[in-house]
Structure 1
């Protein structure tokens, strides 16, 4: 019997350039924190090994400090780690792995597999058939040798690879490295541990993607897990438990505003977000000036609570009502002409998105400036 954790796609060193620097720093740090959580869970669950199915690092050029920190994060588990190079950290002649070796930061219990072969875990009577990527993109199935690979009698056969199962994950795959969908059966594997797809995914009863341990994209494909796998004996079906370990949950909301209650509903949803949330918000539709202002305030208040927020509000047309205009003193005169011009830009069917965005922003800025004036000083 063997019990192990299956994880993958840590992408240590990811930069998160789409966010503000302070937000990006927290997101990058979370990837280390969750590795430490995996190590702690491995110890608490008394597993025999942790299998990391590729893309431990996001790129070959991460700093020496990042390399040292990653291997330091493994210390909470003194059992066996088996780490596989993927397409982002392929086992090139000179790679992040050879740098780690020169830094002498790889502990004796960590086995980095730089060449295809079989790693024997004799204490657990398990053979790990390992297919590291030795270049970023391959067009041959690196797991093909599994079929003929010999392992000791009575040992469980576990495959470890990084790539795309052909015909299963075509949309948005991270690399083109193909893996036959029948590999577990043809190679007589008890379990095939895969990396590359950033969400937890069951290909068949013996073939699984663990997904990234810490979500890194606005895609609802079940990220943020590790898999706790038990093999009772060779030939038995694996018992797989998905364990959530991720710190942050990324969400993408696309909201269309048509009536004031849509704004109220969105404000209520924003109000319950907290420090564990990363949000991308895309808003379109139309709103009166007062509702648009209230929504902008709600977004900025949410920004102060969540871990990271990207808000795209340029698709929201701001259409001041008669009440809005009266409140701002913009019913006549020069200010009324400015507001009419901005509204005209928003209603122009030939306007480009940037023009619409600038018009909405200008209306909101104008409203804020007017509200800061004493009522008697507002334009009339």
Structure 2
């Protein structure tokens, strides 16, 4: 416990959804490997944060692992990454790493990879951290999908007087999350009140999200998808005494921030704004862009240059231009000295872009004008 004006106040760190063992096959090999390593580094940062903030415990609300079949090396590395914080960790199985009869957790125990200070909440139980002043009521998933609320019996579980009652669960709070994600593993939105919990630490939603003053999702500490949902944080929770309202502090943990932009280019200022936004992003960015609209030849050259610079700065950059039409201006064509047959060909390709298969025409137009432009530059050198 840490001291607050002479009073000892329990403090714990709430995290979830590490998804260790996740692969990033959609990325280039080098980028995918870096994103994997960032997830191990996130665990190390969580452990160091718990030390720096004088936390009494770390609660992990499910999905430590991305799948049951992760490698032995992954299992060992995960537990090794926790080593900086010597206090108790409580890890809960989620839907990706459910506590099956034979699971990643039973394998971890056979490997003797689990340190003595890590409690695996593989059964519905009350884990007493008496020295830390906390009683953890766990609701582990014992299969990937359930249709009953595993926290329903929290109100029936007794805990010693004077200890905080902290629930640890993984699932979808009903009526709060988007409809498509709350069909399975349901959790009642008023569970903390019904079960007289001081705090309910939740996992499954990958962004930091408050349900009520006593119920929070921490989100994943390292983003792994393009979704603007406040991923990349951990929560430091202070509760001065049983019944007191928790004081929650969100701490940025993420190494990489993921950005997904959907842009329509209509006028030159649209491209100016896009390039400026790219220039303002930090280097630790993963950027996915999809463009539609139209762009001039001069604009395309500027876009290509900006993307080339971004690829050198950021962790990963992808740009889908399938719906972006190349529309050379009269000035573009005049600058290429493309008269006669070449001029007619360029105009024909411009018109073909308006048909049923615009992408081949656009690509041919880009290649042709690019060749003309590079030939012009060589002559001028």
- Class of the TM-score when normalised by the shorter of the 2 chains: over 0.9
Secondary structure of the 1:130 match is: strand
Q: Unaligned regions of 5+ residues in structure 2, if any?
A: 1-8
Secondary structure of the 1:342 match is: helix
What does 1:102-113 correspond to in 2, within 5 Å?
Answer: 102-113=110-121
How far 1:149 moved relative to its partner? 0.6
User: Which of these residues, 340, 343, 347, is aligned with residue 336 of structure 1?
Assistant: 343
Distance 1:374 1:148 in 2: 81
TM-score normalised by the chain length of structure 1? 0.94
Asked if residue 25 in structure 1 is aligned to residue 40 in structure 2, the reply is: no
Asked if residue 132 in structure 1 is aligned to residue 103 in structure 2, the reply is: no
Q: 1:371 aligns to what?
A: 373
Secondary structure of the 2:65 match is: coil
How far 1:232 moved relative to its partner? 1.1
Secondary structure of the 2:141 match is: coil
| Contact preservation (8 Å) 2:336, 2:376 | no
How far 1:172 moved relative to its partner? 4.8
How far 1:174 moved relative to its partner? 7.8
Asked if residue 361 in structure 1 is aligned to residue 349 in structure 2, the reply is: no
- Change in 2 beyond 3 A, CA 1:346/1:128: same
Secondary structure of the 1:347 match is: coil
Secondary structure of the 2:169 match is: strand
Secondary structure of the 1:256 match is: strand
User: Which of these residues, 265, 271, 284, is aligned with residue 276 of structure 1?
Assistant: 284
User: Which of these residues, 236, 253, 257, is aligned with residue 249 of structure 1?
Assistant: 257
Secondary structure of the 2:76 match is: helix
Q: 2:53 aligns to what?
A: 45
Asked if residue 78 in structure 1 is aligned to residue 86 in structure 2, the reply is: yes
Distance 1:275 1:174 in 2: 35
Distance 1:370 1:159 in 2: 67
User: Does 261-270 or 211-220 show the bigger shift?
Assistant: 261-270
How far 1:313 moved relative to its partner? 1.6
Q: 1:11 aligns to what?
A: 19
Distance 2:17 2:44 in 1: 15
Distance 2:75 2:345 in 1: 57
Distance 2:267 2:39 in 1: 41
Deviations 1:277-331 (A, max 9, x none): 1111111111111112211221122111111112112221101112222233323
| Contact preservation (8 Å) 1:314, 1:358 | no
- Change in 2 beyond 3 A, CA 1:139/1:79: same
Secondary structure of the 1:221 match is: coil
| Contact preservation (8 Å) 1:273, 1:305 | no
Asked if residue 218 in structure 1 is aligned to residue 213 in structure 2, the reply is: no
Distance 1:111 1:84 in 2: 9
- Change in 2 beyond 3 A, CA 1:26/1:172: farther
Q: 1:68 aligns to what?
A: 76
TM-score normalised by the chain length of structure 2? 0.94
Deviations 1:220-242 (A, max 9, x none): 11111100001111111111111
Deviations 1:206-230 (A, max 9, x none): 0000001011111111111100001
How far 1:117 moved relative to its partner? 0.6
| Contact preservation (8 Å) 1:19, 1:310 | no
Q: 1:345 aligns to what?
A: 352
Asked if residue 114 in structure 1 is aligned to residue 122 in structure 2, the reply is: yes
| Contact preservation (8 Å) 2:220, 2:232 | yes
| Contact preservation (8 Å) 1:53, 1:194 | yes
How far 1:358 moved relative to its partner? 3.0
| Contact preservation (8 Å) 1:274, 1:307 | no
Q: Unaligned regions of 5+ residues in structure 1, if any?
A: none
